[in-house]
Amino acid sequence: QTRSAVRPPMDVTLVIDTSGSMAGAKIENARNAASTLVKSLKDGDIVALDTFSDRAQTVVPPTKLDARSRQQLLEAIARLQPQGSTNMFDGLTMGEAQVAQAPATHSVRRVVVISDGIANVGPSSPETLGAIAQRGLRFQAQVTSLGVGNDYDERTLDALAVNSSGRLYHLSEPKEMASIIKGEMDLLDQTLASNAFVEVV
């Protein structure tokens, strides 16, 4: 049976760890995952790109996707380089603040954190970071965590996903990237409503 309904426009903030611990294969996997996700989104979706190392910064502010802006995002992702320490608290807070400003038309909202999860600057316990992720539920935003490297901090990244009713994936091999991102996008494409409830009488 063919689905007649399509998902509403999506608002996504990519929050990418560019700390020194991400050097080598990790940052390559992070760039590949972010690029694959941007290519999978639809024209009209809104995407922002934030990074965090010693501090968080916005690389690309929330931007509506079209052919030109998609290419600009892909070029910005390709330039990401690792250095410094890991202030995940600031990165997550910044990403959440951007998704909080999503227009009502973009009711599918995600913060996608790509990191090895080894936070070492600012509040960095799984409980504290999980509580930040949970705040996003006030505006129907969930966190998708993509853990890179075989030594990623599963406890921290899992706390982000669990506390926001999101999902955690482990990106250990580049060849897994496309299928994992496709699976996540397929799930998001099936999202026809957010903040819904069922009342049983």
pLDDT at 31 over 80: yes
- What would the two tokens of residue 103 be? 């227009």
Average pLDDT, stretch 118-133? 91
Asked whether the CA dihedral 129, 86, 161, 141 is positive or negative, the reply is positive
pLDDT confidence of residue 72: 97
pLDDT of residue 173: 64
Q: What is the 3-state secondary structure (H, E, C) of 115-162?
A: ECCCCCCCCCCHHHHHHHHHHHHHHCEEEEEEEECCCCCHHHHHHHHH
Mean per-residue pLDDT over the chain, rounded: 87
Compute φ and ψ for 189, nearest 5 degrees.
-65, -20
In this predicted structure, the answer to whether residue 46 has a pLDDT above a threshold of 90 is: yes
Quick check: 194 pLDDT over 60? no
Identify the pLDDT of residue 106: 93
Q: Are 173 and 179 in contact (CB under 8 A)?
A: no
**% pLDDT > 70, the chain:** 88
pLDDT in tens, 145-183: 999 888 889 999 999 999 998 889 887 765 666 677 777
What's residue 133's pLDDT? 93
Contacts of residue 194, Cβ cutoff 8 Å, sequence gap at least 6: 107, 108, 109, 140
